Each structure stands twice: as structure tokens, then as C-alpha cells.
């Protein structure tokens, strides 16, 4: 699509290039070429995007073809790194969590041992918890005329009291549960309880709900999968505390009393692990770093002056985009600022969407809630902030916190398994953020308590809030917007487009309309594009030319042949990041065809 638009000279009239998610790959390449154009070229994009008959493709475009399997272009070595780097990060995450478990086991085990030694009444914890809940419940009964804020506060306390009650009840049963699971007389079937129980429940529910909606069955599957991690953590805690309760010899003899020796050993181990993981940079131990480096190698480069070679621009700063010698579209790279009520978000949109638009550009970086900070200041604060990093963040599709794509059931599991393509960025609202606290931020990711108020903010794929990159352009009230939608949308439900329509109506009070017959023709495979009207204030209007990856039957034979072999085309899963030459060319030529058809139809 970019090749077609460039050939028609449309870039020379463009004010902005707004990219999001996977669209940022080619957008990043475009921005890099424009920042450092080859000598004598007035338009940097021509080095890559020129498509001239009877001429061999440029070295730059041949490089793009060679890196169509950009995550592992070199084969086994890259594949091993793709596995090893996230695995190292996962081990680091587990060590951070283990430091907490050791402290919890030292305290919990000591409480159980002390309770047994003092022969405390068996139901003490439950009585204390129920008594506290009763006190709060009675308070609410006699203070119904208190101000609403106070009633809400007391009600919140009552809710957290249930958590306290559960902890105290667990304290009552902890010693017995440890003996049941780990004593010498325990049958092996007891400790399999933690694995068999959730599987049995999930199987029973799946069978009972066969006639229910697929969405409900998927929800239950996610809950059953996500429950494995909390159960594993409880099991690990009980195993650690069990060494104290069962009076087993400790590896460190300090006072000669097994329980105290274990408590000292756990405390020292927790302190040691806490210290060595304190300075961990979660952005480096996560897969983000690998993903960002692969994107940089494949897309962030310039064509050399002799046009026969390319040069990597791995450290190209956002503030250095747009060479001053020629006019080029201003770059806007869209990401998502993840926020939640648990993290302190009070605005209704934050609680519902769990997300806000976050922008990287040549001059400013930020979001509405954080404010916008000069890009040069953000680059000074975080040396990793550059074009390749911004593109990787904008395309960070898999993360524990994913804006509107909210999967709380899997958040803990994804964090521990290091499925974390998102990025912890210094908050634009706070110029001096200091060092990253790995334990605090990892806990924040696990429980979803992300916000725009901390020293660091969690940013991820821009598609987690708006997947066309058009929202930022409508904010700027552009008169003509050309949007390319290559989402995996085999049913032609147009989810990205309908989400955009809803968001601008809610956030800006603006309306975007399309002709119903044109939408029907698109869904029936009779056209590739739509024209929408944007109704701005003061009776001004804008046009949205919406280009959709679709087939009408008049495409090039190579495109139709690929479709014959792979019926899902052009809506194959976006998880497929390993394109063959045939696949690469089918998508490239389809985009060229769609853009040509759309521009011709619009001008006619």
C-alpha cells in the first residue's frame, strides 16, 4: 500500500504518518529512511518504496524480503536465542517471587509452630475474622445516614475483611493441611490433589456447559488455566512452611531449634534474593529486548549512498526523525498506556477500557493522563528510548496487561512465564524516576494494579486500545485520512473500525459514518475499500479512505494461487511472523492492488 501511494506522489502532500501495532514495522522503516536519506535523494522513502517496472528492486527492499522471517532470519541460532532469552527472564521472575515466598513461609511457619506450642484454641483465627466482619457489618447498620464517601470506604473495608477472614481461616487449617500433604505417612495421592482438583472441576464444567455459548466455555477454560499458578504458589508456600512445622533439620544451624533455624534460613535467603534482584531491569529480562532487536535488524536501516548496501540504524533516536532537508510526514507511533481502577485510575473510561492512547513522536512522548514530555528529555531519562524501541512497544501484542483485551485470569501466569512484550517506561509526568524496583513492578503486573501515577508506566501494543492508528489523526482533525487495515478478520466484522467509531463518539463527540451498501459490498467480496465521513465541529467534515485486506477475484495470479493453497489468506493469524517468499509477495502485491483500486475509485 505504501508503494502504491508513494508512486502516486501522495506522500508529498501528507502531514502525518500514524502507525500502530504491526503497521509500525514498515512505518519504522519509512521513518528511518526519511531520517537519513541517501545522498542526492529528495525523498528517502523512494529507496525502499519505489516499484519500477523493468528494474531490479533496491538493496533496501531486497533486505526486507530477506528478513520476512524477521524473528529468526538466521535459522537455528536465532531460534535458540528466541527461546533462551525469555527463559532467562522467566527464571529471574521466579527468583523475585521466591524471595517473597521465603519471607511468607518464615512468618507463616513461625505462626503455626508458635500456635502449636502454645496449644491455642483451634478456631481462633476464624473467630477473630468473623468478629471483625461482624463489627464492620454492625457499623454499617447504624451509620446508614453517613455521607456516601464514608459508606463507600467502610464497604471497601468490609470487602477486604473477607480476604483477612480467608487468611485467618487458612491459618487455622495450615498445620493440618501440611501434615496431610507432607508428613512421612502421607499417601502420594494427597499431594496430587492440587493438580487433579482444578482439572476435574474444569472437565465437569466443560461437559455440563456444552450447550452454552463458546464465550462462556472459553472464560471457564481461562479461569481453570489461570488457577494453576495460584495453586502452585500455595503448594510451594506450604512445602516451605512444612519444613518448619514438621520439625525437619535445617541446612543452617543457628540456635539448634529446627523451626527457628528454618525461619532464619528463609529470612536470609529472602534478603539475598531480594538484593540481587533489586537492580533487575524488567525491560531487559522480558522478551521485549529480543523482539525489539529483531525489529531493528529487519526494519530500522538506511540505504547507503551507493544504493548497493544498507546500514543499520539501531540507535536512531525519535528526536532525529525527519531530515530537515526535505518535507516528510510527521511520525506518530501509537501505543497503549495500561491503567486500572486497582492501580488508582478513577476515570470511568480507565476502569472500563483499562487503557489510554499513548504517543511516541519526534517532539513529544506521553498520554493525556501523564501529560506530554519533550522527546529529548525522555531519551535522556531512558537511553533505550529510540525508534526501534517505540516500534517494538507499539507492536507488543502479548503482555499481562493488554488494555481493552483484558485477561485477568491469565495475568499471573503470563507474568511468571515471562510472556511480557510490554515495556516499563519512565513516567512522562515525573522527570526524576530513579531506579526501577523490579519486585514492585513485577507485583504490579501480576495483579494488574497498573496506573499513570507511578514512577514508571506500563505501555504495550497500541492495538490494545485502537488498532487503526486513526484516533490520533481525528484528534488533529485531519481532512483526509487513508487507513490500511490488515487485521486478521476472516469474517469481515470490521472490529477495528467499529471500535474507532465508538471511541471517537464517546471521547470527542464526533461521528464517523459509512454507506451501508458499501459496507455490504465489502463484506460480500465485491470491493476493497470504503469512504467514511467524519463530522467535525463548526460544520467541517473529513474523509476516511479505509483500505481492507480483502479479495474480489481480480487479483494477480500469484495472489490467487497463494489463496488456493492457504484458504485463510489474507486473514492468516497475526501470530504468524515467519513469512515465506511466496507469502510475503502475496501480501505485498495484494496491498499494491488494493491501494491502486481505492485511489482510482476515490478520484473517479
101-105, 195-199, 597-601: range with lowest mean pLDDT: 195-199
Confidence bin at 346 (pLDDT 50/70/90): low
Q: Using CA atoms, how far apart are residues 593 and 123, in angstroms rounded to an integer?
A: 74
pLDDT the model gives residue 64: 92
Is residue 236 pLDDT above 90, yes or no? no
Single out the residue of 369, 383, 358, 366 nearest to residue 428, CA to CA: 366
Confidence bin at 224 (pLDDT 50/70/90): low
Is residue 209 pLDDT above 60, yes or no? no
pLDDT digits (tens, 9 = 90+) for 241-255: 888 888 888 887 777
Confidence bin at 325 (pLDDT 50/70/90): low
The larger pLDDT score, comparing residue 311 to residue 257, is at 311
Is residue 394 pLDDT above 90, yes or no? yes
Q: Using CA atoms, how far apart are residues 300 and 192, in angstroms rounded to an integer?
A: 51
pLDDT the model gives residue 194: 57
Question: How many CA atoms, within 13 angstroms, populate the side-chain half-sphere of residue 535?
Answer: 9
In this prediction, residues 91-105 reach a mean pLDDT of 87
551 grid coordinates: 479479495
Q: Residues 19, 22, 26, CA angle at the centre, nearest 5°? A: 65
Residue with cell 487485521: 487
Is residue 473 pLDDT above 60, yes or no? yes
The one-character DSSP state at 15 is S
In this prediction, residues 156-181 reach a mean pLDDT of 81
Q: Using CA atoms, how far apart are residues 33 and 51, in angstroms rounded to an integer?
A: 16
216-220, 262-266, 379-383, 465-469: range with lowest mean pLDDT: 216-220
pLDDT the model gives residue 163: 82
In this prediction, residues 496-520 reach a mean pLDDT of 95
Confidence bin at 424 (pLDDT 50/70/90): very high
CA 77, 82, 87, 92 dihedral sign is positive
Is residue 214 pLDDT above 80, yes or no? no
CA 16, 21, 23, 27 dihedral sign is positive
What are the strands, taking DSSP E only, across 341-422? 355-361, 364-367, 371-374
For helices 408-416 and 214-226, angle between their N-to-C axes, nearest 10 degrees:
40
pLDDT the model gives residue 291: 92
In this prediction, residues 363-379 reach a mean pLDDT of 95
169 grid coordinates: 481461616
Is residue 348 pLDDT above 50, yes or no? no
40-44, 489-493, 574-578: range with lowest mean pLDDT: 40-44
Residue with cell 471521547: 507
pLDDT the model gives residue 312: 92
pLDDT the model gives residue 494: 95
Q: Using CA atoms, how far apart are residues 462 and 465, in angstroms rounded to an integer?
A: 6
Look up the pTM and report it.
0.86
Q: Using CA atoms, how far apart are residues 382 and 515, in angstroms rounded to an integer?
A: 47
pLDDT the model gives residue 91: 87
Query: Which residues are 337's β-sheet partners?
Result: 356, 459
Is residue 213 pLDDT above 90, yes or no? no
Q: Using CA atoms, how far apart are residues 289 and 285, in angstroms rounded to an integer?
A: 8
Helix (H) or strand (E) holding 535: strand 529-535
Single out the residue of 573, 569, 572 nearest to residue 590, CA to CA: 569
Most confident of 237-246, 251-260, 405-414, 488-497: 488-497
Round the average pLDDT of the chain to a whole number and report it.
Answer: 84
* DSSP per position, 516-576: HHHHHHHHTTS-SEEEEEEE-STT-EEEEEEEE----S-S-HHHHHHHHH-TTTTS--TT-
**Cβ atoms 336, 356 nearer than 8 A:** yes
**Cβ atoms 322, 362 nearer than 8 A:** yes
In this prediction, residues 140-158 reach a mean pLDDT of 74
Question: How many CA atoms, within 13 angstroms, populate the side-chain half-sphere of residue 245?
Answer: 27
In this prediction, residues 292-317 reach a mean pLDDT of 88
Confidence bin at 40 (pLDDT 50/70/90): low
66-80, 446-460, 578-592: range with lowest mean pLDDT: 66-80
Q: Using CA atoms, how far apart are residues 90 and 419, in angstroms rounded to an integer?
A: 9
* DSSP per position, 459-516: EEEGGGT-SSS-HHHHHTT-SEEEEEE----TT---HHHHHHHHHHHHHH--EEEE-H
Confidence bin at 43 (pLDDT 50/70/90): low
112-121, 191-200, 289-298: range with lowest mean pLDDT: 191-200
pLDDT the model gives residue 344: 56
pLDDT the model gives residue 511: 95
The larger pLDDT score, comparing residue 28 to residue 117, is at 28
Amino acid at each position: 500500500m505504501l508503494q502504491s501511494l508513494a508512486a502516486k506522489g501522495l506522500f508529498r502532500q501528507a502531514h502525518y504518518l500514524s502507525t500502530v501495532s504491526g503497521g509500525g514495522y514498515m512505518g519504522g522503516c519509512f521513518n528511518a529512511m526519511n531520517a537519513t536519506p541517501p545522498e542526492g535523494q529528495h525523498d528517502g522513502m523512494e529507496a525502499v518504496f519505489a516499484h519500477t517496472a523493468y528494474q531490479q528492486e533496491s538493496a533496501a527492499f531486497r533486505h526486507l524480503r530477506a528478513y520476512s522471517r524477521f524473528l529468526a532470519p538466521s535459522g537455528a541460532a536465532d531460534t535458540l536465542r528466541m527461546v533462551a532469552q525469555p527463559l532467562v527472564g522467566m527464571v529471574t521472575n521466579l527468583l523475585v517471587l521466591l524471595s517473597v515466598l521465603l519471607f511468607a513461609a518464615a512468618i507463616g511457619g513461625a505462626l503455626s509452630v508458635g500456635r502449636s506450642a502454645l496449644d491455642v484454641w483451634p478456631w481462633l483465627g476464624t473467630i477473630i475474622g468473623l468478629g471483625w466482619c461482624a463489627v464492620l457489618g454492625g457499623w454499617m447498620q447504624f451509620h446508614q445516614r453517613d455521607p456516601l464517601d464514608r459508606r463507600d470506604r467502610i464497604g471497601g473495608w468490609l470487602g477486604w475483611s473477607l480476604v483477612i477472614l480467608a487468611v485467618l481461616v487458612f491459618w487455622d487449617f495450615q498445620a493440618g493441611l501440611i501434615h496431610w500433604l507432607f508428613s512421612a505417612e502421607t499417601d502420594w495421592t494427597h499431594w496430587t490433589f492440587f493438580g487433579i482438583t482444578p482439572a476435574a472441576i474444569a472437565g465437569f464444567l466443560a461437559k455440563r456447559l456444552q450447550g452454552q455459548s463458546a464465550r462462556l466455555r472459553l472464560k471457564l477454560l481461562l479461569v481453570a488455566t489461570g488457577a494453576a499458578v495460584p495453586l502452585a504458589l500455595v503448594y510451594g508456600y506450604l512445602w516451605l512452611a512444612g519444613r518448619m512445622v514438621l520439625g525437619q533439620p535445617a541446612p543452617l544451624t543457628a540456635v539448634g531449634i529446627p523451626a527457628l533455624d528454618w525461619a532464619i534460613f528463609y529470612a536470609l535467603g529472602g534478603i539475598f534474593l531480594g538484593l540481587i534482584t533489586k537492580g533487575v531491569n524488567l525491560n531487559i529480562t522480558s522478551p521485549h529486548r529480543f523482539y525489539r532487536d529483531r525489529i531493528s535488524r529487519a526494519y530500522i536501516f538506511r540505504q547507503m549512498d551507493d544504493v548497493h548496501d544498507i546500514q543499520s540504524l539501531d540507535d536512531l533516536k525519535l528526536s532525529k526523525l525527519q531530515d530537515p532537508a526535505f518535507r516528510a510526514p510527521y511520525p506518530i507511533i501509537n501505543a497503549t498506556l495500561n491503567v486500572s481502577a486497582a492501580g488508582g485510575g478513577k476515570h470511568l473510561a480507565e476502569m472500563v477500557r483499562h487503557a489510554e492512547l499513548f504517543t511516541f513522536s519526534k517532539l513529544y512522548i506521553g498520554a493525556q493522563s501523564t501529560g506530554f514530555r519533550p522527546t529529548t528529555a525522555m531519551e535522556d531519562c531512558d537511553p533505550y528510548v529510540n525508534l526501534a524501541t517505540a516500534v517494538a512497544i507499539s507492536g507488543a501484542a502479548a503482555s499481562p496487561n493488554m488494555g481493552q483485551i483484558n485477561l485477568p485470569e491469565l495475568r499471573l501466569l503470563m507474568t511468571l512465564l515471562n510472556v511480557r512484550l510490554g515495556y516499563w517506561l519512565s513516567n512522562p509526568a515525573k522527570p526524576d524516576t530513579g531506579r526501577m524496583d523490579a519486585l514492585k513492578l513485577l507485583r504490579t503486573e501480576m495483579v494488574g494494579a497498573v496506573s499513570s501515577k507511578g514512577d514508571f508506566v506500563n505501555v504495550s501494543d497500541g492495538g490494545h486500545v485502537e488498532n487503526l492508528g486513526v484516533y490520533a489523526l481525528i484528534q488533529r482533525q485531519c481532512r483526509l485520512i487513508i487507513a490500511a487495515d490488515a487485521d486478521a478478520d476472516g469474517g469481515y466484522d470490521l472490529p477495528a473500525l467499529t471500535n474507532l467509531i465508538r471511541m471517537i463518539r464517546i471521547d470527542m463527540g464526533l461521528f464517523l459514518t459509512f454507506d451501508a451498501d458499501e459496507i455490504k459490498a465489502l463484506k460480500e467480496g465485491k470491493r476493497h475499500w470504503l469512504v467514511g465521513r467524519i463530522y467535525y465541529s463548526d460544520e467541517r467534515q473529513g474523509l476516511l479512505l479505509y483500505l481492507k485486506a480483502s479479495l474480489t477475484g481480480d487479483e494477480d495470479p500469484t495472489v490467487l494461487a497463494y489463496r488456493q493453497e492457504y484458504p485463510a489468506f489474507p486473514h492468516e493469524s497475526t501470530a504468524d511472523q515467519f513469512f515465506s517468499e511466496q507469502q510475503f509477495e502475496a501480501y505485498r502485491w495484494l496491498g499494491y492492488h488494493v491501494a491502486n483500486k481505492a485511489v482510482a475509485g476515490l478520484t473517479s
